[in-house]
């Protein structure tokens, strides 16, 4: 993963801020658990998910380096971009803008321009959620590339040797599919929240 800049960073920073708010509400039993449609992320408890968000926040918006690739990190980035799609659908349906008054659609356009030096094939005022999802996927692809954890999943329940062969061919460590986020105490979870917010709201 690389450190994001300009429009990319602004888009991801806003989405992570929203995700942290959702997770904090869940941890305080103030809201139901929200699923992002990414099982590799959704399956963990709230403290583990916040730890994953902390790692990705520091990697994409700071100088932290994730030493060893793992499916859980790639899935966390996917969850962030899936949430951006949800936020756009809410914006279209309910007119809810970002905290700074800007639209999520404008932030997606800015991120796309940052990456491709041209606007996407969707107008900023468009209500076509399918086109927005496609544009968001292109932005995510530019950051993550091929989602190897999704392809590796097909090998997971099969021949272990075939799984290792697949991982080796793609330069991935043997524990790429086996790495799990640590269990966290309440204090450790709060520390993750504080670190994320220090980056997101700086």
Contact criterion met (CB below 8 Å) for 76 and 53:
yes
pLDDT over 70 at 14, yes or no: yes
pLDDT interval class at 65 (50, 70, 90)? confident
Contact criterion met (CB below 8 Å) for 15 and 38:
no
Compute how many other C-beta atoms are within 10 angstroms of the C-beta atom of residue 198. Answer: 12
Instruction: Say how far apart CA 96 and CA 102 lie, in whole Å.
Output: 10
pLDDT interval class at 100 (50, 70, 90)? low
Tell the burial category of 2 from Cβ atoms under 10 Å away from its Cβ (0-12, 13-18, 19+): exposed
pLDDT over 70 at 102, yes or no: yes
Residue 98 zone, left/alpha/beta (φ > 0; ψ -120 to 50; rest)? beta
pLDDT over 80 at 50, yes or no: yes
- Domain ranges within the chain, ordered by starting residue: 6-200
pLDDT over 90 at 59, yes or no: yes
Q: Helix (H, G, I), strand (E, B), or coil: what is residue 134? A: helix
Token pair of 128 as six digits = 């076509």
The model's pTM is: 0.90
pLDDT over 80 at 98, yes or no: no
pLDDT digits over 31-47, tens only?
Answer: 889 999 998 899 999 99
Q: What are phi and psi of 193, to 5 degrees?
A: -60, -45
Contact criterion met (CB below 8 Å) for 172 and 179:
no
DSSP state, residue 82: H
């Amino acid at each position: 993963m690389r450190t994001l800049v300009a429009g990319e960073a602004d888009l991801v920073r806003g989405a992570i801020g929203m995700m942290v708010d959702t997770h904090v509400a869940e941890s305080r039993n103030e809201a139901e658990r929200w699923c992002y449609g990414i099982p590799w992320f959704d399956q963990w408890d709230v403290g583990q998910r916040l730890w994953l968000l902390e790692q990705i926040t520091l990697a994409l918006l700071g100088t932290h380096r994730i030493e060893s690739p793992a499916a859980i990190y790639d899935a966390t980035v996917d969850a962030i971009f899936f949430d951006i799609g949800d936020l756009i659908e809410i914006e279209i349906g309910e007119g809810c803008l970002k905290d700074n008054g800007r639209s999520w659609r404008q932030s997606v356009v800015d991120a796309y321009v940052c990456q491709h030096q041209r606007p996407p094939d969707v107008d900023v005022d468009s209500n076509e959620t399918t086109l927005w999802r496609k544009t968001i996927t292109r932005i995510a692809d530019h950051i993550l590339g091929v989602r190897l954890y999704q392809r590796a999943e097909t090998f997971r329940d099969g021949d272990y040797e075939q799984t290792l062969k697949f991982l080796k061919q793609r330069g991935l460590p043997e524990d790429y599919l086996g790495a799990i986020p640590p269990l966290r105490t309440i204090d450790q979870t709060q520390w993750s929240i504080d670190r994320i917010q220090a980056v997101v709201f700086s």
